[in-house]
Amino acid sequence: MKQQYDFDFAEAIVPFGGSAQPVTNPDKAILGGKGLGLQEMARIGVDVPPGFTIITKLCDVYQDGDDLPDEIWDLVKAAIARVETDTGKKFGDQENPLLFSCRSGAAISMPGMMDTVLNIVSAL
């Protein structure tokens, strides 16, 4: 039986910068502190490099199952593709690599969060 969550997976990856439209009312509890800051900077016109935020509720999903559902990985891959298009670079490319900075930035301190973030990146 498929797990039920209290949020829409389609909203679990929030893009910023590049071709992304800034979130109108960003929420620190959802985006974390750094995600909120990136959205606010983009909203006021700061040229924010393209990227994406994985919402904080996915930390709970990960903690409950020690992984993320396949639907999330598909969304992460789509978010990476958007950044590739915006930058003209390719993730994993030897000649023109796209690099990501992975930062934890939850609304509250989350011990072990860096392990989760590194697991997300290494799983791709």
Q: What is the pTM of this model?
A: 0.80
pLDDT 10s digits, 11-26: 899 999 999 998 989 9
Q: Degrees (nearest 5) of the Cα angle 9, 88, 96?
A: 110
pLDDT digits (tens, 9 = 90+) for 77-101: 999 999 999 999 999 899 999 988 8
113-123 vs 57-65: helix crossing angle, rounded to 10: 80
